[in-house]
Amino acid sequence: MMENRILDISSPISASLPVWPGDPALEIVAEMKIADGASANVSRMTMSAHSGTHIDAPLHFFDSGYATDEISLEKLIGEALVIQMDERIPLITEECLQNLKLQVWPRRILFKTVNSTYQNWSRQPFRKDFCALSAGAARFLAEKNVILVGIDYLSIAPFDEPDAVHQILLSAGIVILEGLDLGEISQGLYKLICLPLKIVGIEGAPARAILMDL
Ligand SMILES: [Zn+2]
């Protein structure tokens, strides 16, 4: 095995990134161009805070919750287990998690699901039928004292029922990491480094996330 690989698990931010229905479209505009006589190239970006690879903070579902800039870096950096779920599973339930029969639940879990088989999902139109966690699975992870949970599509919760899963995870202080690109990643334990932009007082923030071999 190659050692000390740095594996980028962040989705490329571009205008072809799928956007959650109703969220602002992602737009990158060249405001100044050297080609037009300016002395520098300067772009302006318009995007939802939940674009591509990003984290959710409790403020996303609770007005009294803390924001992304208040999440300690200790939660965002450290050992993480990538779990390859059976690709026939459309919803990760508590039973699915029990069937994994893990002796120990690492504190950071990244789920690689059927979503990773949707070729370059981060450049395709939005799809509603992505694999996500059930509320029971969210409760299970909270009981296992997980501090970060990630998934390979834009939401940790099913499209039709987003509230309960987010509320359970966020009220337990669990960082939600969404929009991961795990296509090239195999199951195993890694070091996760997830660095969300330090935007003050906001409920979600785009992040660069990488895995490193332990
Ligand atoms: Zn989000």
Note the pLDDT tens digit of each residue in 162-212.
999 999 999 999 999 999 999 999 999 999 999 999 999 999 999 999 999
Give the per-residue pLDDT at 4: 85
Residue at token pair 């660095």: 195
Strands 132-133 and 175-178: unpaired
Say whether 54 is catalytic.
no
The mean pLDDT value for 73-100 works out to: 97
Q: How far is the CA of 40 from the centre of ligand 1 (A)?
A: 33
Give the per-residue pLDDT at 31: 97
Q: What is the dihedral of CA 144, 150, 155, 161, to 10 degrees?
A: -10
Give the per-residue pLDDT at 184: 96
Residue pLDDT, tens place only, 9-39:
999 999 999 999 999 889 999 999 999 999 9
Q: State the chain's mean pLDDT as an integer.
A: 96
Q: How far is the CA of 10 from the centre of ligand 1 (A)?
A: 14
φ/ψ of 39, rounded to 5, equals: -85, -10
Q: How far is the CA of 55 from the centre of ligand 1 (A)?
A: 6
| CA R_g for the chain | 17
**Ramachandran region of residue 78, left (φ > 0), alpha (ψ -120 to 50) or beta?**
left
| Closest by Cα among 97, 185, 184, 109 to 151 | 109
E strands present in the chain:
6-8, 27-32, 42-46, 54-56, 77-84, 91-92, 108-112, 132-133, 148-151, 175-178, 188-196, 204-213
The mean pLDDT value for 108-134 works out to: 95
**Given a cut of 70, is residue 134 above it in pLDDT?**
yes
Q: How far is the CA of 45 from the centre of ligand 1 (A)?
A: 18
Q: How far is the CA of 25 from the centre of ligand 1 (A)?
A: 15
Q: How far is the CA of 100 from the centre of ligand 1 (A)?
A: 26
DSSP type of residue 77: E
DSSP type of residue 170: H
**Given a cut of 80, is residue 1 above it in pLDDT?**
no
**Ramachandran region of residue 200, left (φ > 0), alpha (ψ -120 to 50) or beta?**
beta
Give the per-residue pLDDT at 150: 98
What share of the chain has pLDDT > 90, as a percent?
Answer: 95
The mean pLDDT value for 121-134 works out to: 95
The mean pLDDT value for 136-156 works out to: 98
Full-model pTM? 0.96
**Given a cut of 80, is residue 2 above it in pLDDT?**
no
Which listed residue (50, 54, 60, 166) is catalytic?
60
**Ramachandran region of residue 121, left (φ > 0), alpha (ψ -120 to 50) or beta?**
alpha
Give the per-residue pLDDT at 151: 98
